A and B are shown apart, each in its own frame.
Chain A
Amino acid sequence: MSHSSDSPALVGTRWVELGLTLFTTLIGVVVMFGSVEQGIGWGDSGPEPGYFPFYIGLLLSAASLGNGVLTLVRWKALSIAFVSRSAFGQVLSVFIPIALFVGAMPLVGIYVSSACFIAWFMWSDKARATPYSKWKIAGISLGAVLASYLIFALWFKVPLDGGPLGEWIAQTVRYFK
């Protein structure tokens, strides 16, 4: 990753525009395909289930193609950078941990993954003059997790999946009762 101050462009806005256009067109096609499966015509009891969504998919694809054409028309003007290399690095440095956090959730449970996520985020903050102390990191990450347990699971009765650790604690509590 380049850390130079002028930070070259990673990709032109036009390519991202075109990519997103392609993506939304595809969604439209998928929606139309799924609607055709359900029948888009007129059944015994009036419009079939796919009747309305089909036109949604059609409009979505058509509008996306329109956007694609507009992108091509403004091709020159859209050559400006979508995001600079270093800025995108910043975005990835947040996005990848979130993805890992989300991926770890079903495996180790919400509490453990959340605590690790917050702790990692604080630990890896290199922009600070003095890094956070171990105690501060532990205190904040565990405190946030405890607060979410109290608010969600205890007070508002929204059960959160504790994963293996949560199960183990629940079992221990039951054993001592």
Chain B
Amino acid sequence: MSEFDSLLQGMNLILTPGHIGLMVIGVLLGILVGVLPGLGAPNGVALLLPLTFTMSPVSAIILLSCMYWGALFGGSITSILFNIPGEPSSVATTFDGYPMAREGRAAEALTAAFSSALIGALAGVLLLTFLSTRIAEFAMSFSSPEFFAVYLLAFCTFIGMSKNPPLKTVVAMMIGFAMAAVGMDTVSGNLRLTFDQPILMTGISFEVAVIGLFGIGEILCTVEEGLVFRGEHARITPMVILRTWAKLPRYWWTIVRSTLVGCWMGITPGGPTAASFMSYSLARRFSKNRENFGKGELEGVIAPETADHAAGTSALLPMLTLGIPGSATAAVMLGGLMIWGLHPGPTLFVEQHDFVWGLIASMYLGNVVSLIVVLATVPLFASILRIPFSIIAPIIIMVCAIGAYSVHNSFFDVVLMLGFGALGYLFKKLGYPIAPLVLAAVLGDKAEDAFRQSMLFSDGHIGIFWSNPLVGGLTTAALLMLFWPLISKALQTVLGLRKSQLPKAKSVL
């Protein structure tokens, strides 16, 4: 069956009032968590997970993925109007978005941000539509060593490409792996790392960690900085929308470049945050209006937003085809898939044809729905941020606590959440990244299974990871990625390349 037929089938499946209603709810909730401090896409999705257990997987993934799109859009509202990035990936949007709002061009900045975001997202979905089946088919020939090599590549890319110190990334990642190992061992059935505490028998849920690290940790950081929300006002009229849209074609090259950057960073686990920064710095470097960047340049809003959303959507490509999420939110969704009894990976495309194409079709529709909803509700959500912190904070904390409790109906999880909250606060302040921890916590068991299987095949010889060109190539690429900071430095000194300007530009941001 061609991709087009499958897509039509998927469209057929999702074009019901119920599913479209779920999309609107998902988008609204997403914008809400994107706008509120302390809540973001990863823990928004984690909080909603327990509520989806009674739904069909298609409905559940529509709700969760639309929440993701909504959160990505919501993040730009706070960036532009309040100079507060609601999501880490919209930090780059504040550079030019907020100055534009200060000049009274908030509506223009918002419209440009949302519209270019839609273009980026649709490009990501197109990529997903036409590449996913092929990658899945290719990955069908993978066995355990190949899978482990792919996991290794994902984790090593995180370490090598992260803007955080590599050793701190390793520490965060290993804590995630250790968490995943707690509880029942999937192969032998032994209880591991529980130290005879019955409470640890069920293991440590990644949802609880996500809610604590992102939710409570974020609130503590916000309190410390003593944030006061003093935002600019915006009224989006149809006139402004049309005028902004008329300007967009002028920036076609920026949009294309940002889309490419976004798609690439989304598929490789660079993630939306890295994509938006990179796209912004590239736009500034190549723009004619270079001097105006940082002072309210439209191009400086378009570039990060396009890349952010392109990366956000294409992050689902490796998640669906290989079982490797490209961002923290995708990792949480992947965990959800496993809880619903689905097996992310190439077999998903054969066994769960409806689910996959329902999801892909919903991504087209969901992003268009997002644009309409977000344009219509900007004033509403901006007014939510004007609610005093002493009302919004305890409610957010209550929602987090209930969310953590409802994972296993256990009060111990709420205590764990608090512990992770404190850890998240320290991690944020000391520059430890959180996303690798989540990724490892979700993927830990699968990576371990793949590793043990491989070791069984080879009787414990590590050489199996170079036993054929495919797995050898993947493993070597993983090692290259791991040592990339050292390699690029060595290359620079040897060749004396001018390349050093790129990382410099990044660190300036």
Q: B219 contacts A94, CB within 8 Å?
A: yes
Name A134-177 residues within 8 Å CB distance of B: 140, 144-145, 148, 152, 156-161
Q: Does the CB pair B406–A158 fall under 8 Å?
A: yes
Task: Give the contact stretch, choosing among B106-114, B326-334, B414-422.
Answer: B414-422
B458 CB, nearest partner CB in chain A, Å: 10
B399 near A: Cβ within 8 Å?
yes
Q: In the complex, which of the residues B54, B226, B401 has the most CB atoms of chain A within 10 Å of its own CB atom?
A: B401
Q: Is the CB of B171 within 8 A of A118?
A: no
B422 and A88 form a contact (CB under 8 A): no
A-side contacts of B187, CB under 8 Å: 49
Q: Which 9 pairs between the two chains have the least Cβ-Cβ distance?
A: A125-B390, A60-B174, A121-B394, A63-B170, A34-B193, A53-B181, A118-B394, A156-B51, A46-B456
Residues of B within 8 A of A53 (CB): 177-178, 181, 192-193, 448
Indicate whether A56 reaches chain B with its CB closer than 8 angstroms. yes
Whether, in the assembled complex, A75 has its beta carbon less than 8 Å from a beta carbon of chain B, the answer is no
A158 to B390, CA, bound (A): 28
Q: Which residues of B contact A124 (CB under 8 A)?
A: 390
Cβ contacts under 8 Å, B415 to chain A: 102
A31 touches B429 (CB 8 A): no
Nearest-neighbour CB distance to chain A for B420, whole angstroms, equals 12
**Complex CA–CA separation, A99 to B429 (angstroms):** 21
Which A residues touch B175, using CB under 8 A?
24, 27, 60
Beyond A38-B190, A49-B187, is A122–B391 a contact (Cβ under 8 Å)? yes
Interface residues of A in 82-122 (CB under 8 A from B): 82-83, 87-88, 90-91, 93-95, 98-99, 101-102, 105-106, 110, 114, 117-118, 121-122
Assuming the A-B contacts A27-B178, A91-B223, are A50 and B192 also in contact, with contact meaning beta carbons closer than 8 angstroms in the complex? Answer: yes
Given contacts A49-B187, A52-B448, contact A91 B54 (CB under 8 A): no
List residues of chain A with CB under 8 Å of any chain B CB.
13, 16-17, 20, 24, 27-28, 30-31, 34-35, 38, 42, 45-53, 56-57, 59-60, 63-64, 66-67, 70, 82-83, 87-88, 90-91, 93-95, 98-99, 101-102, 105-106, 110, 114, 117-118, 121-122, 124-125, 127-128, 140, 144-145, 148, 152, 156-161
Q: Is residue B165 within 8 Å, beta carbon to beta carbon, of the partner chain?
A: yes
Tell whether, in the assembled complex, residue B422 and residue A95 are in contact, meaning their CB atoms are under 8 Å apart. Answer: yes
Tell me the bound Cα distance from A99 to B54 in angstroms: 31
Closest chain-B Cβ to A49's Cβ sits at a distance in Å of: 4
* Shortest Cβ distance from B421 into A: residue: A98
A15 to chain B, nearest CB (A): 11
Give the distance in Å from the alpha carbon of A60 to the alpha carbon of B398 in the complex: 33
A114-B398 contact given A63-B167, A90-B226, CB 8 Å threshold: yes
B425 touches A91 (CB 8 A): yes
* A94 contact from B220, B430, B451, Cβ within 8 A: B220
> Are the C-beta atoms of B192 and A122 separated by less than 8 Å?
no
Pair A98/B395 contact, Cβ less than 8 Å: no
Whether A57 and B394, one on each chain, are in contact in the complex, defined by CB atoms closer than 8 angstroms, is: no
Q: How far is the CA of A17 from the CA of B167 in the complex (A)?
A: 13
* Residues of B that sit less than 8 Å from A by CB: 50-51, 54, 165, 167-168, 170-171, 174-175, 177-178, 181, 185, 187-188, 190, 192-195, 216, 219-220, 223-226, 388, 390-391, 393-395, 397-399, 401-402, 405-406, 409, 411, 414-415, 417-418, 421-422, 425-426, 429-430, 432, 448, 451-452, 455-456, 460
| A20: chain B residues within 8 A (beta carbon) | 426, 430, 432
**Chain A nearest CB, measured from B18 CB (Å):** 15
Interchain CB contact under 8 A, B411 and A106: yes
B397 touches A42 (CB 8 A): no
Alpha-carbon distance between A39 and B17 when the two chains are bound, in angstroms: 55
The residues of A that contact B411 with a CB separation of less than 8 Å are 105-106, 161
Q: Which residue of chain A is the closest to B188 with respect to CB atoms?
A: A49
Establish whether residues B192 and A49, one from each chain, have CB atoms under 8 Å apart when the complex forms: yes
Residue of A nearest to B397 (CB): A98
Q: Which residue of A lies closest to B418 (CB)?
A: A102
Whether A90 and B192, one on each chain, are in contact in the complex, defined by CB atoms closer than 8 angstroms, is no
Does the CB pair A98–B216 fall under 8 Å?
A: yes
* B426 adjacent to A118 (CB under 8 Å): no
- CB of B384 to closest CB in A, whole Å: 14
Chain B nearest CB: distance from A107 CB in Å? 10
A121 to B171, CA, bound (A): 35
Q: B397 to chain A: which residues have CB within 8 Å?
A: 98, 101, 117
- Known contacts A46-B455, A102-B415: A70-B167 contact under CB 8 Å: yes
Not counting A59-B174, A102-B414, a sample of 17 additional A-B residue pairs whose C-beta atoms are within 8 angstroms of each other reads: A24-B175, A30-B193, A35-B193, A42-B460, A45-B188, A46-B455, A56-B181, A60-B174, A91-B220, A91-B425, A101-B397, A105-B414, A121-B394, A125-B390, A148-B398, A156-B54, A161-B409
Q: Are A91 and B171 in contact (CB under 8 A)?
A: no
A-B contact pairs, 25 of them (CB 8 A): A13-B430, A16-B426, A28-B174, A30-B193, A31-B193, A38-B185, A45-B188, A46-B452, A48-B188, A49-B185, A49-B187, A52-B181, A88-B224, A90-B223, A91-B223, A98-B397, A98-B418, A102-B417, A105-B414, A110-B401, A124-B390, A125-B390, A140-B391, A145-B398, A148-B399
Of A63, A93, A156, the residue contacting B171 (CB under 8 A) is A63
